Each structure stands twice: as C-alpha cells, then as structure tokens.
Chain A
Amino acid sequence: MATRWLPILWRLVQTIPVVIGVVIISFLLTRALPGDPAVQFAGQMATPESIEQVRAALGLDKSLPQQFLIYCQALLQGDLGQSVATGRPVLTDLATRLPASLELTLTSLLLSCLIAIPLGVLAAVRQGSWVDHLCRVLVTAGVSLPTFFTGILLIYIFYYLLGWAPSPLGRLDFVYFDPPRVTGFFLIDSLLDGDLRTFTGAAKQLALPAITLALFTLAPIARMTRAAMLTALSSDYIRTACAAGLTPRKVLFGYAFRNALLPVVTTLGMVFSFVLGANVLVEKVFAWPGIGSYAVEALVQSDYAAVQGFVLAMALLFVLINLIIDLSYALIDPRIGFSSK
C-alpha cells in the first residue's frame, strides 16, 4: 500500500517549487505595476504626510525582500490584500467571482469534449472520409479563431439577426432573481432550488459564451484524439485483438480508445491553460462577471492587490489542474508510475 502512495506523494512534493516560483513572479509583477499604491490608497484628499502614513501602514517603505516576507505571511493567513477599486478584500472578490468563471470554463470544456472526442475517433476510424476532412478543416480553422471575434460574431448572428439569444450582459437577465447561493454555479443552484425558470434563463445566458470558448478548445482536443486513435489503431495489440475475433466495438472502445485517452488527457491540461487565458477575453465580450473581467478592470486601474490576487489564483488553479491530470493518469493507465519521471 505504501508503495502505491509514495509516487503520488512525490508528485505532490514536485509542485512545491513551482508554487514558490508562482508566488515570487506574481509578487514581482505587481511591484512593477506603474503608479504608487500608497497614493491610491490615501485617496483624493491626501497630504504628503498621510501618503507617508499609508506607505508605512502598507509596509511599502521597507526593502523588497522584507516586503516579500510580509506578503508571504499575509498569504499564509489567506490575506490577499485590499482592492482599491471595490474596497473589499481581494479574496472575497475572487471568491464571489470565481464560480462564474468556473461555470463558464467547465461548461465549455464539457461541450467541446462531447463534440471533439467522438469527432476525433470517427475521423481516425474512417480515415479519408468526409468526417476526416471535416475534422481537419475544423481543427485548422478552430485554432485560428480569435475568441473575442467569434464571440462578437455569435452575438451578431444569434442576438441581433435571429433574436434567439438574450442580450449578452452578464449571467442572468434582470427579470430573474439570482438563485440562493450554494455552489455559486447558477445552473446547479437554480436546480437545487427547484426553480426551472431561472435555470433556463441562466442556461440561455451561458450558451453563447460557452459555445465561443468551446469552438476555441475543440481544435486541439479533436486533433489529439484523432492522432492518438490513429497511433493506437495501427499498433500490434489491435491487430491481435482483431485476429482473436473480438467484436469491433470491443476493439475500438476497450482497447484502442482506452490507450488513446492518455495523450488526450494531457492535451486537456494544456487546453485548460488556453481556456483560462481566453476566459478573460470572452468575459469581456459578454460582460460576464467572472474573475477575468475583474482582472481587466483591475489592470486598467493599476489596482495591484487585485491583479496580484488574480494572477496568483489563476496560476494556482492551473497547477492544481495539472496535478489532477497527472494523478488521473494512474487511474487511466496502470502502467504509469511517477518514479520514472
């Protein structure tokens, strides 16, 4: 039993240097932000003395290493500082806005997996058929799509021309009330509340931004699924399985797909990084109240605690996702050991 857990523990230990690096970079980045935070915090009516007071209170008069220590101490207590723009602790701001971003990201990833994986499998099985060509066109076009542009295009078609979509402003139209907050995911919360009207309202609002992001992530997933399936299907064990008279279904899903899943999951981790970045753009287009649009506002106002909190949260989220993906390898493929890395 111990030998089974040791590699996982080792993988966890490996994330520590990366997390430290992430904290250092996010600290340095925001110290370099233009503008004097002390002047900002002191407000409009500040005198030079009060600015100095604020500077001392924020610890900004100390040397950089000392500031870093103070920052780390605060971080360990879960204190990300105070946002100048909203006047609330950054952690509270991020916590209230994170579910909106996650709901969007996860829905779009789910959507794109549901389309891309079957498409990739079909393209590999029927190589050279119209499905294969469709897959190839989608893959190359999908990578080239600027998310903010597809979002705008979808708004024009489905909101302005067809009138199917609600106005692209936020998570829920003002005629609905926000569902009681349990998870922060409007879709789940409204279902828990048994409020189907709010659920459809939230789903309609979510549809366009989720499709925009899904179109963007479709390409790498479909491409990798196709390539991995082709490799798997041309290997010897598939020939053996076919020769042994297993049903095509069993060969395809039990043997080929299971082996192809590993690179697909790896790609999923990479795609997640893209999505977190693209989120910022899509949230701006659809006025989605997630952490991406929060960060854009903070950047424009040089609100350094908020920017720092956002960059840190994104990076930690991404480290966490990669960790989960690495750990899930072991579930998918029992041959994988972490000791070999």
Chain B
Amino acid sequence: MSDLAPTQTSNGMLTHLGHILRENPVTALSFGLFAFFVGQALVGQWLVPYDPLATNAAQALQPPSAAHWFGTDQLGRDVFSRVVVATRLDLTISVLAVAISFVFGSVLGAIAGYWGGWLDAVLNRILDTIMAFPLFVLAMGIVAALGNTIENIIYATAIINIPFYARVVRAEVNIRREAGFALAARLSGNSHLRTLAFHIFPNALPPMMVQVSLNMGWAILNAAGLSFVGLGVRPPTPEWGIMVAEGANYIISGHWWVALFPGMWLMLAVFTFNLMGDGLRDLVDPRRRT
C-alpha cells in the first residue's frame, strides 16, 4: 500500500505534465528555451568563435556578417561571443539572488506563519517597510551603499524579493497550522520545528516554485537594469545590461546591432522564465489558469 502510493502519484504527475505540454505547446516551447539558455550558460564560453574581451580597432562597429554574426562593437569585440558568454553571469546572478530570497523568505515566513503573535506582527511591519520603497530604487540604494560589486547586486536583488516569498510561505503555513495532519504529526511526538519543516512547509513548495520562476525573470531584469545605470557589473565584463547601455550611445548614429542583440537575449531570457512560470502555475494549480 505504502509502496504503491508514491509511484501512483508520480505517474499521475507525469501524465498531468504530458497533458499540459500537449495542450499548451507554449509551455513546451518555454522548457525548450530554458534548456537553450542553460546550455549557453554551461558550455557557451567554450563554443564562441571569438574571445569576448579581445578588442580589434580595425574591426570596430562592423554590421552583422558571416564572420561576426551579431556585428562588432565600438572596440571591435564580437557581439555574438559577448552575448553568449554573458548568459552565465546573468543567470548566475539571478539564480543566486532567487535562491537567497527563497531560503530567507521561507524561514521568515514559516516562523511568522506558524508561531504568529508579535513575531508575525514585527515581520509584517518590516516587510511593509521594504515594500514601501519602489523596489528598483531600493536595490539601487543597497548596491550604492554596499559597494559596486557583483555580490552586492545579488544581495540587493535578494533583499527586494524576500517579502514576496515570505508572504507566500506565511499564508500557506498559517492556513495549515491547525490542520488535522499537522496536529497528528505533533501528537505522534514530532517537535514543533520538525512538524513545521517536514509536514507543513512542503505544502508551500508548489506555489513557491511558481513564484521562483516568475521571480527569475524579474531578477534578471533587475540585475541588468542596475548594470545599465552603471551600478554593479563593470565593463569590460560581458553582461547584457552593460552591453545595452554601451550600445545605446551608438543607436542614434544607426549602429543598431550593438544594443539590439544583448537586449533581445535579455528579453528572451525573461520571456522564457515568465512563460515557464505560467506553465508551472497550470501544472500546480489548474484553477488559476490564465
């Protein structure tokens, strides 16, 4: 009996996944795109035709051609190589930021939701205060205050995302605090912490995964935006936001490729994560289908 149950659910889950992918090819597309970006991040830097940092003044601002698929920038660097290599940095920043806010948000939200009382009240006030700032502005302030490094972009992005996770977990934990299975777990001798971590918290995971996917796109945009205004990643490091910022100076003179391709990649990456988030939501919660 107990052996059968898990295989049945996982089978059901797979069938459900298959059904959703068939019904909504866009979700399948997003998973494909996701694999494309992950592949770029993993092996991209060994596959690109040029060194992303190598300058070549003789080849500056060349339009896209067979030799340079995406053209070259003002220093003669190959835009294609830079765009592909940048994937790793951009994805790393957003994955780490989302992971940090996931962990801290979960812990804070679970504690507040389970024990309630003044802990809950204090946490809510703090989250309200964080949310009272326009989030990008707060991130700018944090990066400026902590110093202009990649780690600090990650921390800033994580801090502004914590409230979203904490809220979701708090709500999910709170409604199950007095649920039958939680009380049963307590009654059979589990400590509060154990009940919370292994019996109640796993229920919050599905909505959290949706949040993660939607947040990833947001985190990438945020990091690129920070680099665009000159905070965080510094040139000549290839990063999409900086490349768009550098290209912006040449767009008025008609050299569109310098800014267009990194911008497109950035857009496509964010688009992928948003589509995946919608797909995951269908998978997790069919009622909220859009």
If A146-B225, A296-B229 touch, whether A273 touches B144 (CB-CB below 8 Å) is: no
A318 and B290: CB pair below 8 A?
A: no
Cβ-based interface call for A284 (8 A)? yes
Selected contact of A146 from candidates B147, B231, B267, CB within 8 Å: B267
B290 and A136: CB pair below 8 A?
A: yes
B263 and A315: CB pair below 8 A?
A: no
B260 and A284: CB pair below 8 A?
A: no
Cβ-based interface call for B100 (8 A)? no
Task: Specify which chain B residues have a CB less than 8 angstroms from the CB of A319 in the assembled complex.
Answer: 132
Task: Specify which chain A residues have a CB less than 8 angstroms from the CB of B129 in the assembled complex.
Answer: 17-18, 21-22, 25
Task: Specify which chain A residues have a CB less than 8 angstroms from the CB of B245 in the assembled complex.
Answer: 148
Q: Looking at the assembled complex, report how far the CB atom of B97 sits from the nearest CB atom of chain A, in whole angstroms.
A: 16
Q: How many residues of B contact A (CB 8 A)?
A: 50
Cβ-based interface call for B238 (8 A)? no
A149 and B267: CB pair below 8 A?
A: yes
A29 and B145: CB pair below 8 A?
A: yes
Cβ-based interface call for B221 (8 A)? yes
B244 and A30: CB pair below 8 A?
A: no
B137 and A314: CB pair below 8 A?
A: yes
B217 and A144: CB pair below 8 A?
A: yes
Task: Specify which chain A residues have a CB less than 8 angstroms from the CB of B224 in the assembled complex.
Answer: 146
B278 and A311: CB pair below 8 A?
A: no
Selected contact of B274 from candidates A32, A143, A155, CB within 8 Å: A143
A152 and B251: CB pair below 8 A?
A: yes
Task: Specify which chain B residues have a CB less than 8 angstroms from the CB of A26 in the assembled complex.
Answer: 141
Q: How far is the CA of A153 from the CA of B244 in the complex (A)?
A: 10
> Quick one: closest B residue to A285, CB to CB?
B248
A314 and B134: CB pair below 8 A?
A: yes
> Quick one: closest B residue to A273, CB to CB?
B134
B132 and A300: CB pair below 8 A?
A: no
If A152-B244, A153-B260 touch, whether A311 touches B228 (CB-CB below 8 Å) is: no
Task: Specify which chain B residues have a CB less than 8 angstroms from the CB of A153 in the assembled complex.
Answer: 260, 263
Cβ-based interface call for B266 (8 A)? yes
B244 and A146: CB pair below 8 A?
A: yes
B228 and A148: CB pair below 8 A?
A: yes
A280 and B135: CB pair below 8 A?
A: no
B141 and A296: CB pair below 8 A?
A: no
Q: How far is the CA of A160 from the CA of B252 in the complex (A)?
A: 6
- Majority DSSP secondary structure for residues of B touching A: helix
Q: How far is the CA of A104 from the CA of B143 in the complex (A)?
A: 26
Cβ-based interface call for A295 (8 A)? yes
Task: Specify which chain B residues have a CB less than 8 angstroms from the CB of A223 in the assembled complex.
Answer: 290
A146 and B270: CB pair below 8 A?
A: yes
Task: Specify which chain B residues have a CB less than 8 angstroms from the CB of A144 in the assembled complex.
Answer: 217, 267-268, 270-271, 274
Of residues 99 through 153 on chain A, the ones whose CB sits less than 8 Å from some CB of chain B are 136, 140-141, 143-149, 152-153
Selected contact of B244 from candidates A149, A274, A311, CB within 8 Å: A149
Cβ-based interface call for A302 (8 A)? yes
Contact flags A271-289 to B (C-beta < 8 A → 1, else 0): 0011011101100110000
Cβ-based interface call for B166 (8 A)? no
Q: Looking at the assembled complex, report how far the CB atom of B194 sits from the nearest CB atom of chain A, in whole angstroms.
A: 34
Cβ-based interface call for B133 (8 A)? yes
Task: Specify which chain B residues have a CB less than 8 angstroms from the CB of A140 in the assembled complex.
Answer: 271, 274-275, 278
Q: How far is the CA of A141 from the CA of B129 in the complex (A)?
A: 30
B251 and A156: CB pair below 8 A?
A: yes
Q: How far is the CA of A280 from the CA of B245 in the complex (A)?
A: 14
> Quick one: closest A residue to B217, CB to CB?
A144
Task: Specify which chain A residues have a CB less than 8 angstroms from the CB of B270 in the assembled complex.
Answer: 143-144, 146
B147 and A34: CB pair below 8 A?
A: yes
Of residues 251 through 287 on chain A, the ones whose CB sits less than 8 Å from some CB of chain B are 273-274, 276-278, 280-281, 284-285
From B136, B230, B247, residue with most partner A Cβ within 10 Å = B136
Q: Looking at the assembled complex, report how far the CB atom of B276 sits from the nearest CB atom of chain A, in whole angstroms.
A: 11
Task: Specify which chain B residues have a CB less than 8 angstroms from the CB of A285 in the assembled complex.
Answer: 248
Cβ-based interface call for B196 (8 A)? no
Q: How far is the CA of A223 from the CA of B277 in the complex (A)?
A: 15
> Quick one: closest A residue to B249, CB to CB?
A152
Task: Specify which chain A residues have a CB less than 8 angstroms from the CB of B126 in the assembled complex.
Answer: 21
Of residues 243 through 290 on chain B, the ones whose CB sits less than 8 Å from some CB of chain A are 244-245, 247-248, 251-254, 256, 259-260, 263, 266-268, 270-271, 274-275, 278, 290
B251 and A155: CB pair below 8 A?
A: yes
Selected contact of A21 from candidates B132, B134, B263, B274, CB within 8 Å: B132
Cβ-based interface call for B138 (8 A)? yes
B231 and A299: CB pair below 8 A?
A: yes
Q: Looking at the assembled complex, report how far the CB atom of A257 sits from the nearest CB atom of chain B, in whole angstroms.
A: 20
B229 and A146: CB pair below 8 A?
A: no
> Quick one: closest A residue to B126, CB to CB?
A21
Of residues 1 through 56 on chain A, the ones whose CB sits less than 8 Å from some CB of chain B are 17-18, 21-22, 25-26, 29-30, 32-34
Cβ-based interface call for A211 (8 A)? no
Task: Specify which chain B residues have a CB less than 8 angstroms from the CB of A281 in the assembled complex.
Answer: 136, 225, 228-229
> What are 5 A-to-B residue pairs whose CB atoms are below 8 Å?
A136-B290, A146-B221, A156-B254, A315-B133, A315-B134
Top-8 shortest CB links A-B: A277-B136, A21-B129, A276-B134, A149-B263, A32-B145, A144-B271, A144-B270, A299-B144
Which A residues fall within an 8 A CB radius of B?
Answer: 17-18, 21-22, 25-26, 29-30, 32-34, 136, 140-141, 143-149, 152-153, 155-156, 159-160, 167-168, 223, 227, 273-274, 276-278, 280-281, 284-285, 295-296, 299-300, 302, 307, 310-311, 314-315, 318-319, 322
